[in-house]
Chains A and B, each alone.
Chain A
C-alpha cells in the first residue's frame, strides 16, 4: 500500500491538508469527493485516513 501512497503523494497530501482537521463522517466523505472518481486515489485516501486513525498513539509518549 505504501508504494501506491508514495506514487500518488502530491495529490493525497493536497486532499489531506483540506480534511485532516475535520470530524468524521464528513472527513472521509469530503476526501473521497475530492478524488474525482479516481479509484486509485480513493484507495490511497482510504488507506491513509485509516493509517491516520490507527497511528494516533504511534511514536507518541502518552
Chain B
C-alpha cells in the first residue's frame, strides 16, 4: 500500500466516471437498458457532486453553485464526443438536470440546518435564462411542489429540472426533451404557474 487509495483507474486528474464509461452507459441507456440508466445517474451525480464541492470550496464565503457551468463542465469531462451523438448530449443533460436537483436540494437542506434561526439565507444558483437567486425555503418548497407536480405532469417536472435546477437555455432544454424551443417556453410557463399555485396559495 502506501501509494494511491486502492481505486483502480482513478488518477489524480481523472474524473469520477471516466469518459469512456459514461459514454458507453449513455449509449446503453439510449437503447432502454434500465440498469445502464441507474448507473448513468449515479456516475453523473457523483461527478457533479465532486465538481460542486470544488466550487463551494473555491467560493467558500458565498457557496455559489453555478449549476449551468457545472452541468456543461461535467458533460465535457465525462462524455467522449467522438463516440456520443447529438441525442446523447440531450440525454446527458436530462440526467444531469435530475442529479443537479438532488444536489441543490441536499445543499439547501444542509445550509438550512446549519443556518436555522439565522433568517432566510440566499442560495445563489447562477446563469441560464431561468436560474435563480432563490432563498433556501424557496428551493425546498419548489422541490416539494415538484414531487406533487410529478403526479400531474412528469414532462413539466423535467422542464423545471432542466431550466431551473440545471439552468439550461431554452434551446438546450428543447434538445434534451427532443422538442421545440417554443414548446419548452410554453411548458416552462405552465410549470411555473402550477408551482406558484402550490407554493403561494391565494389567501
**Majority DSSP secondary structure for residues of A touching B:** helix
Chain B residues contacting A48 (CB-CB under 8 Å) are 193-194, 197
Chain A residues contacting B196 (CB-CB under 8 Å) are 51, 54-55, 58
**Majority DSSP secondary structure for residues of B touching A:** helix
How many A residues touch B, CB cutoff 8 Å?
Answer: 20
How many B residues touch A, CB cutoff 8 Å?
Answer: 27
In the assembly, what is the distance between CA of A51 and CA of B195, in Å?
9
Does residue A60 face the partner (Cβ distance < 8 Å to B)?
yes
Give a binary string over B157-199; 1 marks a CB under 8 Å from any A CB, 0 the rest.
0001000100000000000000000000010011011111110
Q: A1-B202, A59-B164 are in contact. Are A51 and B194 (CB under 8 A)?
A: yes
B127 to chain A: closest residue by CB: A61
Give a binary string over A29-47; 1 marks a CB under 8 Å from any B CB, 0 the rest.
0000000000000000001
Q: A51-B197, A59-B134 are in contact. Are A6 and B151 (CB under 8 A)?
A: yes
Residues of B within 8 A of A (CB): 128-134, 142, 148, 151-153, 160, 164, 186, 189-190, 192-198, 200-202
